[in-house]
Structures are given as structure tokens and as C-alpha cells.
Amino acid sequence: MASTPTSSLFSIPINPNHVLKPKRFIFQPNLPFFKSLKPKLPLSCSAVAFPGTAELVVPSKLRNLEEEFRSLQEPVDRVKRLLHYAGLTPSMDESVRVDKNRVMGCTARVWVEVKIDGEGKVRLTADSDSEITKGFCSCLVWVLDGSEPEEVLKVRTDDLVGLNVGLPGTGRSRVNTWHNVLVTMQKKTKQLVAEREGKVLFEPFPSLIVTADGLVPKGSYAEAQATYLFPNESKVNELVNVLKEKKIGVVAHFYMDPEVQGVLTAAQKQWPHIHISDSLVMADSAVKMAKAGCKFITVLGVDFMSENVRAILDQAGFNEVGVYRMSDERIGCSLADAAATSTYMEYLEPASRSTSLHVIYINTKLETKAYAHELVPTITCTSSNVIQTILQAFAQVPDLTLWYGPDSYMGANIVELFQQMTVMTDEEVSAIHPEHNVDSIKKLLPRLYYYQDGTCIVHHLFGHEVVEKIKEMYCDAFLTAHLEVPGEMFSLAMEAKRRSMGVVGSTQNILDFIKDRVKESLDRNIDDHLQFVLGTESGMVTAIVAAVRSLLEPAKSSSQGANVTVEIVFPVSSESISTPSLNSVEVGDIILPVVPGVASGEGCSIHGGCASCPYMKMNSLSSLLTISRHLPDEENRLSAYKAERFKLQTPNGQSVADVGCEPILHMRNFQATKKLPDKLVDQILHTKDKGVSV
């Protein structure tokens, strides 16, 4: 492109039909950026070339832009500069300001269009209904427009950190606009390059679009998930009637089958003693139901969940309340099974000879907790409190050695998270935990161990192939990931989290994140489409749909309400659907896949893992109705379904139930006080003296 003596920093035409030539305006030598160019010949800034090779053009532009913003000490001056640049940028034509060009995750509406010209250069246009955001876009357009596709794709979101405009007092900072607009530009560039090279694009993942009016499934797997979200009213009434008559409470995990969750969610409106949650809250809810007069508790989950419910009810003094599972066969869990082995106890053996704490995931058997606690002081954790538990432990016992288990992915992700903290500032680390700084994080890392042979078959699904597809097709979407997912998915979600486009945590954290983003969109009162990649078990969709609909439906009744839609993406094969296997068991009209694997789980991958837990699918609606009808069990027909109090003893001759509950009670104490209980600290300090802690 020819040089012009009076060119603009942002001389890129925004109208895609406009001839690609610079738009002139008065050169302003007082601006810091232009001062850096003053000794040079005047150039068209849409094609600025700094000394060096062509591949250094984009990095050089970024450095100069960063220097310009750094030279402005006051945030208000940086904002004024953005407003100035926004004023120099023409608006997009209305025909281009459409939904397909929208950027997700920005506080204002942002549109980006990407083209590749005849010379193979990337041509960018961008616009926003916010002048500040438009200024952001102008900067990125100037940096990247006219570059080779490879140059555009090389830029990392971390490269934009120095462009912090700093708007104090805002919740989700507008500075994330730099990142979200860049990611969208790169996604569109990748797609255009693939088309030019004749490459076959990835098939989209199945998804479920939630609106104020209903659901729109895309793909057979999503259709299967949507089938039971609006249950048959007669089934709901049948369940409610028997629960009321027998005074039965129901606690169920988020990962239940959509059919079961659909009926339970509808039944909650008529019978309050039904609760769907993560595993931690299930036992608490059971205690509340017992206090409210429920005579029986039915548990829809895997066996360690019913064990925990039984033990916590006993601890609360409700020994007479019966607890029932949904199958007369073992309802296992690959993660809990990994810890119920001699190998896991051998892993903990060195901990018994030093000042150590064992942090065990709540999703393990009561027996495992008891045996471990006798070997080394133990506290349970959840995916939402594990980081704070570990940091507080090291703060209270400085020379501590900590052993985490059994989830290998979560352990690796915890270490990775702490390693990321070592490159933060002391202030940033202190914001995570007030008693830590960069130096203390570096010192604890060599004394943090995690078990390396335990995984959940569900979260194992989110490996390399899924991650690559998300990078290609959903990099601009909101990413959610359970803390148990493999490292690649964890890193991807953490990167999204840094720009407020993701969450890594528990199932409840994921649900809260989605609800918060929907609320923000509704508060802005503009038409919007939010896309979330669901990086955990697909059974979560029932709770998500119920929460999202509860937010969208009231907004619909307002004449001024915006049209907001929410898309839940299932990262599984588009043709995935539950299929019976030779190992399935038929119970009534329900086919239960009881062996994990490709043939027997929904959305399973031949590379390992399933989007839906086959064990959880052993909890059927027909089982719940059958058990409920036979209560009270005067003829002892349900003995195989009953969760009995543990009668086993530990190697030290104590009750498994009593010893196994203590790590849970330690955690509850920690949650209430934000400190490890004195009893646990004393156990830690005297472990190596006594050989055992309990």
C-alpha cells in the first residue's frame, strides 16, 4: 500500500465494501505513539513497517502501542485516548452488525468481520455500541489488519496484558475486551484459512439452545438430553403422591439421568423434600429432611454418597431414618475405587512418618477415609474448596508435607495452578489467600504430592481431541471445566477464566457461573446469544436448563425485555447417544448400562471416558418408585437396597463410621471458620511421634 504524508494510526476502512485504501486525517505529533515515529518518514499506519523482518511487524506494533498506554499515568487519560481513537474509526454498515459477527463476553455489543484479500492478507473491521470498546477494537484492527494469517494467529492473549486501560470500580473489567476480540478475530481467521486450503472443518458438537419459550436441540445427542426436560405430568404426580404419603425425602446428584432429573425438578414444586446437588450438599440436605419429619431418605447417586448420607444422619442423631440406594447391585465409581486399594495406602505410607496432612476428595468411600485417617491425619475436600484447604494448611503448619488424592487430574491441575501463582505479584497471591505470597507458594510446591493413578471416567473424556476441537470452533465461547478434567482442558479453561470467559471448579461453581453470565446479559437488556461449553458430566444440563429458564421467563413477560438465548454445548461426538450394550441390564422398561465403555455410556469416546456416567444411570425413576411404594419395608424385601450403618472396624479397632466421618467434620469446621480445627492440627504435629493420628 502506498505511503501518505498525513495518515492515521487507525486508517483501516470499516465498511467491508469500501476500497482498501487509507482514510486521511490530520497527523497529531503530540501523541506519544506518533512521537516514537517522528524521526521516520510519514507512513500509512495501516501498513506501518518497522525495522526488521516482516514477521516482526505485529510484535513491533504491539510494543509501540503498549509504550503509548504506559506513558499515560492516569486511567482517565487512557480512556480519553481510546475515545479519541474510536472517533477516528468509521462505523460498520448495519448489514455487518449481525449476530454471527458478535463477540461473546464483552460488556458492550461488539462486532468483528474478518476477510482474506487477494494477496492472502487478513483484513479486519470491528465496531461496538460503546465508544470505549470501539477504541479497543480500533487498536487491535490497527495492529493486525494487513498481516499474514500466521501473524494474527501467533498473538497470544498474554501479549495484550500491557495494554491495560485500568477502569477502577468495574466488576468484569473492560480490559478483557482486548482478549475476547482477539480470540474472535483468530477464530474467524482460522476458519477462512481452512476454507481457502480446502480443509474439512470440524463438525460442531451437539448443543441445546435454551430460550424463554423452550428448547432447541442440535444433534441427536442433544435431542436425547432434551427429551425428558419437560416430563409427563402423570409421572410427576405419581411420584409426588407416594413421597408425600410415605414421608420420603430424595437427595440426588447433578449427574442423574435427564429423565430422572426432569421428573424430580418438576416434583419439587409440590414436595419440598427433594434436593439435587453435588455430593457434599446431599448429606446436609438429608439431615434437614430428617429434621422436617421425613422417615426415609432415598439416595440417587453412587454408593459412597449413600454411605456418607447414612453416616452423617447417624452423627446428627437420626439413626432411625432409613437410607435407601436405587439398586440391589453395587453402584461403583471409578475414582472412589482407585482409592479403595492397597496401592493408595502404600502411597500414603511415607506420610505417616512425617509432619503430614492427607487431603482426600469427598468423592471417596467412608471406609477409605477411615483407613487413611488412621494412617495419616486426613481432611476431606471438594473441588470448590481444595485450593483454600491446601493454602490454609500450609499457612497454619509451615513445615507441613501435604498429600492429595485420589484424583490424578485434579492433583496435577492443583500443582499447575500453584505454579501459575509463582509468576503472579505478591498482591495477586494475597488476594487468593491473605497469608501467602509468591515466596511461600514456591516453598510449598516441593512439599505437595498427589496420587497419580486415579481418574473419573467422565472427566477423562476431555482429552486432546476434544481440546483441539474446542480450540478450533469454540475458543470464543464461555468454557466451563470441572477441576477433575485432564490438564489440556484445564489449561484451556484457565486461559478463558483469566479473561472472564471461563470457570474451573465444582459442578456448583459451573452452575453459578452460567447463571451469573445470563443475569449480566439480561441486565444489559440487549439481544444476546451466550454459548457455554459444558466441561463436565452432561447430566448437569437439567439443573442448568432449570436455572436459565427461571431467569429468561420473567424477562420475557416484560415488553422491554431483550431476547437472550443460551446454548449449552456438549463436547462429544455429534452422533453420540445412549446405546444398550450386551452388558446392559433391563429393569422394567428401562435399559441400564452398567459397564463403563463405548457401547454402554452416553457420549462415550473410544479414547476413554463418557460424557454421561454409566454408574449414575443405574439410578432409574422406576427404581425410585418401586422402593418408595414398598416403604416401610416390613417384609424386609429391600434389604439389598438399604444403606446400613458401618459395622466394620479399623485396624485400630475403632468404628469405620466414626473414624471415616471425622475428616468430613474437619472439613465442615474449616468451611465455617476458614481455619483447620485445633484437633486436626494437633494430630498433624504428633503423627510422626505416635505413628498414627487417631
Q: Which of 51, 614, 681, 8 is nearest to 329 (CA)?
A: 614
Angle between helices 258-267 and 233-246 (to 10 degrees): 60
Helices (H) and strands (E) in the chain, counts: 26, 18
Euclidean distance between CA atoms 664 and 670, whole angstroms: 10
Please tell me which residue in 106, 610, 613, 661 is annotated as part of the active site.
106
Give catalytic status of residue 106 as yes or no.
yes
Euclidean distance between CA atoms 573 and 602, whole angstroms: 10
* Triad 501, 193, 208: Cα angle to 5°: 40
Euclidean distance between CA atoms 369 and 358, whole angstroms: 10
Euclidean distance between CA atoms 369 and 665, whole angstroms: 12
> Cα separations (Å) of 400 from 391, 419, 435, 664, 665?
11, 18, 15, 20, 21
30 burial level (CB within 10 Å; 0-12, 13-18, 19+): exposed
Q: Which of 114, 131, 129, 137 is nearest to 16 (CA)?
A: 114
Contact 273, 246 (CB under 8 A): no
Three-class secondary structure of residue 81 per DSSP: helix
Cell numbers describing residue 169: 470500580
Contact 535, 469 (CB under 8 A): no
Q: Which of 537, 419, 545, 521 is nearest to 481 (CA)?
A: 537
Q: Are strands 122-128 and 528-535 parallel, antiparallel or unpaired?
A: unpaired
Three-class secondary structure of residue 480 per DSSP: strand
Contact 628, 271 (CB under 8 A): no
- Amino acid 37 reads L
3-state percent helix, strand, coil for the chain, nearest multiple of 5 = 45, 15, 40
Beta-bridge partners for 535: 481
Which residues have a catalytic role annotated? 106
